[in-house]
Amino acid sequence: MRRLWIVVAVGVACACGDAFSPGHSRASLNLVPTFSENVYELLTGDLDQLHIRVTHIPGAAVILDTTVAVDTAGNVDLDLAVTLSAQTDSFAVLLEGIRSSDNTVLYSGFDTVVVTAGTITPPGDTIAVNYVGPCAAAAGCTVTVAPQDSTLTQGDSLLMRVTVDSSGQNIPGVPVSVTNLTPTLVTVSSTRRVRALPGPGGPARVVAKIHGAEDTLRLTVPPLGGAPALVIVTPGYAALRVAGPGKTVQLADTVKDNLGNILGTAVTWTSRSPGVATVSGGGLVTAAGRGIATIVGTAAAGVADSILVAVGDTTNHGDALVFAITNNRAFGQRKVGQTVQVDVLVDLRTGEALGSYTATFAWNQAVMHFDSSSAGTFSSAPVVNADTTGGTLTFAAASATDAASAPTLIHLFFKALAIGSDGHSLQLTELSGAPANNYVNYYLLGQYFVASGNAAIAP
Same domain, 343 and 459: yes
Q: Tell me, what's the pLDDT at 5?
A: 42
The residue with greater pLDDT, 213 or 44, is 213
Domain for residue 137, yes or no?
Answer: no
**Encoded amino acid at 368, one letter:** M
**Per-residue pLDDT averaged across 269-292, rounded?**
97
C-alpha span between 122 and 110 (Å, rounded): 19
Same domain, 322 and 430: yes
Residue 342, domain CATH: 2.60.40.680
As to burial, measured by CB atoms within 10 angstroms (0-12 exposed, 13-18 middle, 19+ buried), residue 451 is: buried
Residue 21, domain CATH: 2.60.40
Same domain, 356 and 336: yes
Q: Tell me, what's the pLDDT at 418?
A: 96
% of the chain at pLDDT higher than 70? 80
Q: Is the pLDDT of residue 424 over 60?
A: yes
C-alpha span between 401 and 380 (Å, rounded): 10
| Banded model confidence at residue 77, pLDDT cuts 50, 70, 90 | low
**Per-residue pLDDT averaged across 231-248, rounded?**
92
| Banded model confidence at residue 402, pLDDT cuts 50, 70, 90 | confident
Domain end position, chosen among 221, 246, 269: 221
**Per-residue pLDDT averaged across 285-292, rounded?**
96
**Per-residue pLDDT averaged across 150-155, rounded?**
86
- C-alpha closest to that of 344 among 412, 273, 401: 412
Q: Is the pLDDT of residue 174 over 80?
A: yes
Domain for residue 136, yes or no?
Answer: no
**Per-residue pLDDT averaged across 331-358, rounded?**
88
Domain for residue 407, yes or no?
Answer: yes
Q: Give the strand pairing for 408-416 and 150-151.
A: unpaired
Domain for residue 211, yes or no?
Answer: yes
User: Which of 77-86, 108-117, 299-308, 349-358 is the least confident region?
Assistant: 77-86
Same domain, 294 and 340: no
Q: Give the strand pairing for 125-131 and 26-35.
A: parallel
Q: Which residues, 6+ apart, have CB-to-CB distance to 218 below 8 Å?
A: 148, 149, 203, 204, 205
Same domain, 382 and 259: no
Domain for residue 253, yes or no?
Answer: yes
Q: Tell me, what's the pLDDT at 210?
A: 87
Same domain, 216 and 230: no
Q: Tell me, what's the pLDDT at 81?
A: 61
The residue with greater pLDDT, 364 or 59, is 364
| Banded model confidence at residue 117, pLDDT cuts 50, 70, 90 | low
Domain end position, chosen among 261, 285, 307: 307
Q: Tell me, what's the pLDDT at 360?
A: 96
Same domain, 189 and 146: yes
Q: Tell me, what's the pLDDT at 422?
A: 95
Q: Is the pLDDT of residue 201 over 80?
A: yes
Residue 152, domain CATH: 2.60.40.1080
**In 370-402, which positions are buried (b, 16+ CB within 10 angstroms) versus exposed (e)?**
beebebbebbbebebebeeeebbbbbbbbbeeb
Q: Could you read off the pLDDT of 298-334 as tens digits, one per residue?
A: 999 999 999 999 999 887 767 889 999 999 999 999 9
Q: Could you read off the pLDDT of 129-146 as tens digits, one per residue?
A: 788 888 887 788 999 999
H/E element holding 165?
strand 161-166
- C-alpha closest to that of 240 among 121, 349, 127, 90: 349
**Per-residue pLDDT averaged across 76-96, rounded?**
75
Overall domain count for the chain: 4
C-alpha span between 386 and 413 (Å, rounded): 12
Q: Is the pLDDT of residue 167 over 90?
A: no
Domain end position, chosen among 307, 324, 354: 307
| Banded model confidence at residue 82, pLDDT cuts 50, 70, 90 | low
% of the chain at pLDDT higher than 90? 45
Q: Is the pLDDT of residue 411 over 90?
A: yes
Q: Give the strand pairing for 262-263 and 268-271.
A: unpaired
Residue 256, domain CATH: 2.60.40.10
Phi/psi for 23 (5° steps) reads -70, -15
Q: Tell me, what's the pLDDT at 266?
A: 87
The winner for highest mean pLDDT among 31-35, 113-117, 177-181, 339-343 is 339-343
| Banded model confidence at residue 218, pLDDT cuts 50, 70, 90 | very high
Q: Tell me, what's the pLDDT at 33?
A: 59
**Per-residue pLDDT averaged across 275-303, rounded?**
96
Cα dist from 81 to 11, 78, 102, 298, 435, whole Å: 5, 10, 31, 77, 99
**Per-residue pLDDT averaged across 189-206, rounded?**
90
Domain for residue 254, yes or no?
Answer: yes
Length of the chain: 459
**Per-residue pLDDT averaged across 21-33, rounded?**
50
Same domain, 63 and 27: yes
Q: Is the pLDDT of residue 431 over 50?
A: yes
Range of the domain at 430: 314-459
Q: Tell me, what's the pLDDT at 22?
A: 40
C-alpha span between 153 and 196 (Å, rounded): 7
| Banded model confidence at residue 83, pLDDT cuts 50, 70, 90 | low
Same domain, 110 and 26: yes
**Per-residue pLDDT averaged across 282-300, rounded?**
96
**Encoded amino acid at 39, one letter:** V
Domain for residue 204, yes or no?
Answer: yes
Cα dist from 422 to 169, 236, 360, whole Å: 28, 18, 15
Same domain, 101 and 152: no
Domain for residue 454, yes or no?
Answer: yes
Same domain, 416 and 299: no
C-alpha span between 337 and 329 (Å, rounded): 19
Q: Tell me, what's the pLDDT at 38?
A: 47
C-alpha span between 420 and 351 (Å, rounded): 40
Same domain, 329 and 440: yes
Q: Is the pLDDT of residue 16 over 80?
A: no
